[in-house]
Structure 1
Amino acid sequence: MTIRAVTAVGLLSVAMPALAQAPTLRPDQVRFRGLYQEMVETDTSITTGSCTALADKIEGHLKTAGYAADQITRFSVPDHPKEGGLVVILPGTSKTLKPMLLLGHIDVVVAKREDWTRDPYKLIEENGYFYGRGTSDMKAMDAIWLDAMMRFKEQGYKPKRTIKLAFTCGEETSWVFNGAQWLAKNKPDLIAAEFALNEGGGGRSDGHGKIAVASLHVGEKNAVNYRIEATNPGGHSSAPVRDNAIYELSDALAKLRDYDFPLMLNETTKAYFAKAGAARGGDELGKAMIAIAANPQDKAAEAILNRDKGYHSMLRTTCVATLLDGGHANNALPQRAGANINCRIFPGVSPADVRQELMKVIADPKMTVSEAETRGPVAAPPPLDPKIVGPAEKMVAKYYPGVPLIPTMSTGATDGIYLEAIGIPSYGPPGTYGDPDGNGSHGLNERAIVNSVYTGRDFLTELVKVYAEGPR
């Protein structure tokens, strides 16, 4: 999952119905819709589903399209048999161009039928939307990748650059088994590529089904959890003292609440604030965005941007308390009190440096700060490579005339970090788009805009072919 950082660029905060007539489908779109439906209706959640079951179906489609057994690699581990995935390869003709990699996670967040208006594991089309778990995160793109690879093979297309496609499980539950991480560690040669196309890009609609901003996902934060803890000999509650673990923890959390990590910009976020600010048409927030891109020391501009939680997060590392525990009895002074601190670390900053900063902010030698869990390696932001950006800009101009393409750094997380750790820069291309409210991703009644899915399919298939032919 990625929480896209394209905060509403002058758009509505609540999505309105798409109000679009269902398009008359071409025969090729009918088959694509069937693939999309099969993916959505195959439960791949960690509790009740199976990624392996969906990978079985995907392998069957690939073989029907003409892929040989030696072009498809299945993978799983014995203790996670339901979390398997696959890699398929369409060989290129060039001996000099390096491969490209398409990445898609096929697992989804758990959905409970009793909480949803509709069955979450049925693809239901209503009023210009596809409803169902995974419709937007990220089975639309998965279906597009699979459909493109099938059509390339069936049409006899021979790209100059080898095209690889990896379907993995565990992006939504990386604490169990993460397929992208496993491939990067155990099969790096299998997925080796000059660059990868992944989730995280796309765009935002105006709330009425029309795209207003296209985004190219370039880099993301690193998610790390820390535990801060106070300990104490304790004692009887009838004789309280100031030296109390819960009070010490409370003081530490108050300091953390009031602390902002220093403002940081990189190539991607600087371009984002400059372009997104210009797209706002001269309002206060837009002017502040342009100003901060030009001068990161502009405190007045920073103060304005900090009012928006999305922009505040894009500008720095953030840390927030998410879980609390403490004490052991109603009538005893607490011997221990602790909190989980969830940090989203700006690309290039090490978890060790953040731990040191937390210790400095808390400034209490009686408290400990330890790293509890790291989702993955330190995020390494890919460059704004003209060979990636240029074709994406041309494709946006073709499919969405007049819509700006804005590079975006995610404040969330994707599996791209595992690829970047082994030297494969990962980008989230534009093509599809969603509503300003996020389309229920990870929540109830998840949906995708019908026209976005079909147009995005044509867009992304053409974009893949442009990249596959190499620089021109």
Structure 2
Amino acid sequence: MSQRLALTLALAAVVATPAAAQPILRPAPGAPTTLTPAQQAARAIYQEMVEINTADSVGSVTKAAEAVAARFRAAGFPAADIHLVGPADKPAKQNLVVRYRGKSGGKAILLLAHLDVVQAKRSDWANDPFVMREESGYFLGRGVADDKSMAAILTANLLRYKQEGWVPERDLILALTADEEGGDANGVTWLIENRKELIDAEYAINEGGGGSLGPNDEPLFHSIQAAEKVYSDFTLTVRNTGGHSSVPRKDNAIYSLAAALLKIQQHTFPVELNDVTRPFFEQTAKVEMPSLAAAMRALAANPADTAAARIISTDPRYASMLRTTCVATMLQGGHAPNALPQFVTANVNCRIAPTSTASQVKAVLERVIGDSSVKIVGDRADRRDGPPAPIHPVLLRATTQLTNSMFKGVPVIPTMSTGATDGYRLRAAGIPTYGVSGIFSAAGETNAHGRDEKLRVKAFYDGLEFLYQLVKQVSGPGRPLS
């Protein structure tokens, strides 16, 4: 008998929270009591998106894309500027690209969000994950944080520009895509390879950035994502001839794999700072608590300062920004309860610092494990993102000005995402991509990819207004284009 299960630690016993249990929400302050017409319109789009299941295999991105396309047609966008495109053999994986014509004052700006979401089983959630709820100052439902908030905001704002009759200097391109979270039909890759002219732009605004809230729900800093770690899965496999369970043998495949996973758990990769993370720690030190601030300054000055790295690593918000991380996520093995295992395998998910490669990490795992019976196979070739690029000066200036006016002047800081986005695909294709949103949250509270995913109601409407103003500033009349 074989089984697959999520791991938090290799071979650790997991006590599951009953699915019927209601999520405990600390009320999030500041949600508006009365919505403006623009907020009402955005909320309706948001709810429509969330309530269409767009998870890989069981859902349809095309259904959501068609619903959005209908809104643009109803708003008077020309049919020639609304494109529902994707692989012909993937009818549920079509992407929507909409062009809002400007005055031809410069190369377009791309507004990117993905419509697909991570799978959510009804039995795992307290309520239906594909029914958006509003409770205690939060929106709840699969995709409310990742990434349908961004998709709804960008859609609503483009429709609002059209309704208001505002025309930018340059074209704006909205791309809502498939399979960012996984699957075999990544929309950005397909567009780059097949219809790059639809999305070619000076730069793109994407997910991956946003604001951080401190202990008292006060804005701490606002980040612009300018780099991201490299996603890579490794499959660890142990095989042997097995046998009768009444006659145990020393080379039990499960024990060999378990020992390998524990060695990975205990290994710490070295600190790898880059041109984004170094200034991130320098700037964040200005707003963090004294002990963390001192460690951040010390590490930025000397990445070999192990004491400083140890202090920073106590905070999960910053720990994985320091280095490559690898963690076991899935396990499968055995064929009968009364037989020695003949085959066991585990998935180890690595988020690799952009200054390293998957082949280098694979070599480290082989050295750390030190057991030739454990075979390691990577799922892809080395990804080449290029070095992190400076943030576009116009975007940085506009983000800073808006942050000063909307969020009490907290610092704007470049950041490297520890998760993956489609930004790396665009960067590799020559389109610089920056994550910026105006959406603020406390560390870990959204539970994106997890059960009862949520986003603050106030954060959604703040992001709506922030991106409405930001896109106007970087693309509107009367501003220099560079």
* Contact residue 42 and residue 121 of structure 1 kept, 8 A: yes
Separation in 2, partners of 1:329, 1:118: 36
Offset of residue 308 of structure 1:
3.3
Alignment of 1:28-43 (within 5 A): 28-43=38-53
Match of 1:256 in 2: 264
Residue 339 and residue 29 in structure 1: after superposition, are their counterparts in 2 closer, same or farther (change >3 A)? closer
SS in 2 for 1:352: helix
Which blocks of at least 5 consecutive residues in structure 1 are unaligned?
1-13
Deviations, residues 30-50 of structure 1 (Å, cap 9, x unaligned): 323222232223332335532
SS in 2 for 1:261: coil
Separation in 1, partners of 2:82, 2:258: 54
1:412 aligns with 2:422: no
Separation in 2, partners of 1:26, 1:239: 73
CA RMSD of superposed structures (Å): 2.7
Match of 2:187 in 1: 179
Which blocks of at least 5 consecutive residues in structure 2 are unaligned?
1-23
1:146 to 136, 155, 166: 155
Residue 404 and residue 430 in structure 1: after superposition, are their counterparts in 2 closer, same or farther (change >3 A)? farther
1:299 aligns with 2:315: no
1:220 aligns with 2:250: no
* Contact residue 205 and residue 436 of structure 1 kept, 8 A: yes
Aligned length: 455
SS in 2 for 1:423: coil
Separation in 2, partners of 1:240, 1:126: 54
Separation in 2, partners of 1:233, 1:111: 38
Match of 2:473 in 1: 466
1:383 to 386, 389, 395: 389
2:141 to 109, 132, 150: 132
Deviations, residues 288-330 of structure 1 (Å, cap 9, x unaligned): 1121111111121122223334433211111222333455566
2:400 to 388, 393, 397: 393
* Contact residue 86 and residue 191 of structure 2 kept, 8 A: no
Match of 1:170 in 2: 179
Q: Does 449-458 or 436-445 show the bigger shift? A: 436-445
Q: Does 73-82 or 59-68 show the bigger shift? A: 73-82
Offset of residue 19 of structure 1:
3.7
Separation in 2, partners of 1:405, 1:113: 39
Separation in 2, partners of 1:207, 1:373: 40
Offset of residue 388 of structure 1:
2.9
Letter in structure 2 aligned against 1:256: I
Q: Does 14-23 or 222-231 show the bigger shift? A: 14-23
Match of 1:276 in 2: 284
1:371 aligns with 2:378: yes
Alignment of 1:189-228 (within 5 A): 189-206=197-214, 210-228=218-236
Separation in 2, partners of 1:119, 1:247: 39
* Contact residue 222 and residue 377 of structure 1 kept, 8 A: yes
Q: TM-score normalized by structure 2?
A: 0.85
Deviations, residues 76-122 of structure 1 (Å, cap 9, x unaligned): 33432122221011233346x32211111112233344544444333
Residue 292 and residue 40 in structure 1: after superposition, are their counterparts in 2 closer, same or farther (change >3 A)? same
Q: TM-score normalized by structure 1?
A: 0.87
Matched residues, percent identical? 42
SS in 2 for 1:152: helix
Offset of residue 435 of structure 1:
3.1
